[in-house]
Structure 1
Amino acid sequence: MNTTISLNRINRNVFVQNLLTFFLNRQALAVGLVFASDSLLFGSWVAHIPHIKERLQLSDADLGMTLFAMPIGLLIMNPLTGWIIAKLGETRACFWSAVGLTLAICIPINAPNTAVMAVGLFLVGLCSALINVAMNTAATNVERSQNIAIMSSCHGMWSLGGLLGSGIAGAVIALHISPSVHMAIMAGLVLLITFLLQPVLNTIPSSSRTESGEKAGSSFVLPNLDLLIMIFIGLAVAMGEGAALDWSAVYLHETLGASSQIAALGFGAFSLTMTSLRFVGDAILPKIGAKRWLQLGGLVGASGLLLAIFVPYPSVALVGFALLGAGCSLGAPILYSASMRVEGIPPAAGLATFATFSFIGFLAGPPVIGFVAESYGLSYGLGLVAAMLFLSAALSRLVKFF
């Protein structure tokens, strides 16, 4: 009994210490706020997708095709991210991509037609690709220079931003505030935060060259088997995140008949569990083990989606999206770090290659879901993601962590 109490106290102390290390470290918190700002914009945007879909009278396939403009922007930018980051440095790349994102995100919400919406989403994809690699590399630089673990907490900040964004959007919808006004205010807020963070970000050491002499700008490498397995797992996890981001509100509103206010909570439920687990991830992963968590996470995430599909009530679906968030929570922090430790592949190239493919899953997954939904129904589109998560759980047994 006393031993159990003592262990519980130790575990709580470990959690608290990890959180204090993150939130009291100026560089770590600054990088975390970049993650949060990025997701705050996405969380705000996705809650208005049903409104845009209805205003422009788009079918599921039309919406899916238009959303595909974002991953096209990603694919075009990714070969250039290494070169840009090598020229600017990680922190300046974070700054300029964040500025570009705040401007680009205002285009699709005001689009008068699908063509303009696609152009806006394409620009969002360009900026998202750059900030994704830049902020993860900056987080790694802080970890290396200060010998601390912050990657999971940084991704927790990303989830927190999405949670706040979707929650605020739900209130905005309930108050009948114009989506255009809402997005303009959120973009202005993020722009202000970006300028305030820059002095602190500039103090983070740059990895212009690693210990081995490899240029930090290495953008891509042909994946070996270990990295390929990580990429597939990352694709599945990213598709789970993308499904919650772009389709949870549509599924709750159109398929299950929930009100717009309740539908906006779908991504919020997902983000709540994801955020909570990511903030304790740096403490619990050494105890549970990364491989075991990837197996468990795939099963939990898939089960959550199946619950939302086979028990078609809004309240149950919210629980399902919460389980999806729990299952996907630590996949990205684990795999982003692991991609830099793949045997035979330079760390920066491993990270950039993994980030490229996993973000493709995040951005291209929702359009794929839309194509499946157009032919068979949205439940089948979400079921495809559940199947991928089950398969990722099985493949996690094969992952090697060096």
Structure 2
Amino acid sequence: MNTTASLNKPHRNLFLQNLLTFFMNRQALAVGLVFASDSVLFGSWVAHIPHIKEKLHLSDADLGLTLFAMPAGLIIMNPLTGYIIAKLGESRACFWSAIALTISICIPINAPNTAVMAFGLFLVGLASALINVAMNTAATNVERTQGISIMSSCHGMWSLGGLLGSGVAGAVIALHVSPSMHMAVVAGLILLATFLLQPVMNTIPSSSRTESGEKAGSSFVLPNQDLFLMIIIGLAVAMGEGVALDWSAVYLRETVGASSQIAALGFGAFSLTMTGFRFLGDGIIPKIGAKRWLQYGGLTAALGLAVAIVFPYPATALIGFAMLGVGCSLGAPILYGASMRIPGIPPAAGLATFATFSFIGFLAGPPVIGFVSESYGLYYGLSLVAAILFMSAGLARIVKLF
């Protein structure tokens, strides 16, 4: 074999090399498993939203209003995330927020009324806000200290967790297992995983100060034009993710008429394509270009929702949510990284500010859809998100990614 020719081959093994780097690095894999643990909980919960909606006799508007308790918790926690992470460090912040999340997410599934459900979701929002910033910062610390690229793979682990959570939930529903029992078992397993991962997480250097001396606890900054455009695009992508998370099962069950088992696969189809593209993202992004991907991704996501709306059948709706997953897959990894490279804004502040607004879109989008759905129908709620995603593709043409 000609060694020189072999070395000059196109980077056909680039994707495999990136994945091997991620999975063979203990710190990178540990952070990725934190991402996955977070998503397993959410993926398990969303599959049971139709159950809790029926159990509490909620209308679309009632469900939307109740779901809004989660972003309310996030908004309350946001000003405190930087302070907490600066005091605890990223690894301990991940640890305690994961424990809080596993406990609080068991409350809404067992809620006897909307007040208790809202309270539980509010606590979930508090914990989610902290773990979201902490785990993304931890991933950035691994990239910075080891000189590797893992952000897209970490977000791929988040998608894989959602796929696993929703897939198991679908099987659980088919077997008529109690949703309360299912969530209790999942929470217990995630709690165990959290304790097992902590020794490795503790080896990740903390970014208590950036190279410029800026405290990592600076968790909010007034966005300049570049960061503002990133936030708008991130909100659109996050709303697409939120639609799949909270409304895919409801749409498939109530609008399309799919069975409960098929309805649970809506988020699974979304997560399957998102997972695949995120694991390939560290190789795809340099080849295609970040800006070009954001444009193509926005268009693909909007088209996916259009397919689900125009062709309201179980198979076509699942295809539409799968396309939505492709379109939204690399938005977060691209924008999280870019938010830390904006001139004049400390990296920690850029990341925390973008992550906060992006997660608000992820959590607030579904309640907004509920309000629209109550007045006009779920078709129009999904159409609104499709229009926003289409708009984000246009904004991607002018945003500067540093």
TM-score class, shorter-chain normalisation, is: over 0.9
Quote the Cα distance in structure 2 between the aligned partners of 1:272 and 1:113: 33
Q: Secondary structure at the match of 2:339?
A: helix
User: Which residue is equivalent to 1:111?
Assistant: 111
Q: Deviations over 1:130-158 (max 9, x none)?
A: 00000000000000000000000000000
Per the alignment, do residues 9 and 325 of structure 1 end up closer, same or farther by CA in structure 2, a change over 3 Å counting? farther
1:157 aligns with 2:157: yes
Superposed, 1:108-257 pairs within 5 Å as 108-257=108-257
Q: Deviations over 1:157-182 (max 9, x none)?
A: 00000000000000000000000000
- % identity of equivalent residues: 83
User: Which residue is equivalent to 2:287?
Assistant: 287
Q: Secondary structure at the match of 1:284?
A: helix
2:333 corresponds to which letter in structure 1? P
1:260 aligns with 2:222: no
Question: Which is worse superposed, 335-344 or 120-129?
Answer: 335-344
Deviation at 1:344, TM superposition (A): 1.3
User: Which residue is equivalent to 1:101?
Assistant: 101
Deviation at 1:12, TM superposition (A): 3.3
1:48 corresponds to which letter in structure 2? H
1:360 corresponds to which letter in structure 2? I
Q: Structure 2 unaligned segments of length 5 or more: list them.
A: none
Q: Secondary structure at the match of 2:247?
A: helix
Aligned residue pairs: how many?
398
Deviation at 1:399, TM superposition (A): 1.2
Q: Structure 1 unaligned segments of length 5 or more: list them.
A: none
Quote the Cα distance in structure 2 between the aligned partners of 1:189 and 1:138: 22
2:134 corresponds to which letter in structure 1? A
1:129 corresponds to which letter in structure 2? A
User: Which residue is equivalent to 2:340?
Assistant: 340
User: Which residue is equivalent to 2:363?
Assistant: 363
Quote the Cα distance in structure 2 between the aligned partners of 1:89 and 1:78: 16
Quote the Cα distance in structure 1 between the aligned partners of 2:335 and 2:6: 32
Quote the Cα distance in structure 2 between the aligned partners of 1:101 and 1:244: 20
Deviation at 1:11, TM superposition (A): 3.6
Q: Deviations over 1:174-228 (max 9, x none)?
A: 0000000000000000000000000000000110001000001111010011001
Quote the Cα distance in structure 2 between the aligned partners of 1:182 and 1:10: 47
Q: Deviations over 1:298-353 (max 9, x none)?
A: 00000000000001111000000000000000000000000001121111111111
Quote the Cα distance in structure 2 between the aligned partners of 1:395 and 1:112: 44
1:384 aligns with 2:384: yes
User: Which residue is equivalent to 1:91?
Assistant: 91
Superposed, 1:24-43 pairs within 5 Å as 24-43=24-43
Quote the Cα distance in structure 2 between the aligned partners of 1:111 and 1:10: 56
Quote the Cα distance in structure 1 between the aligned partners of 2:44 and 2:8: 38
Deviation at 1:8, TM superposition (A): 12
Quote the Cα distance in structure 2 between the aligned partners of 1:112 and 1:52: 10
2:56 corresponds to which letter in structure 1? L
Deviation at 1:9, TM superposition (A): 6.6
Per the alignment, do residues 8 and 63 of structure 1 end up closer, same or farther by CA in structure 2, a change over 3 Å counting? farther
Quote the Cα distance in structure 2 between the aligned partners of 1:6 and 1:244: 43
| Structure 1 residue ranges, 4+ long, deviating more than 2 angstroms after superposition | 5-12
Quote the Cα distance in structure 2 between the aligned partners of 1:401 and 1:342: 8
Q: Secondary structure at the match of 2:156?
A: helix
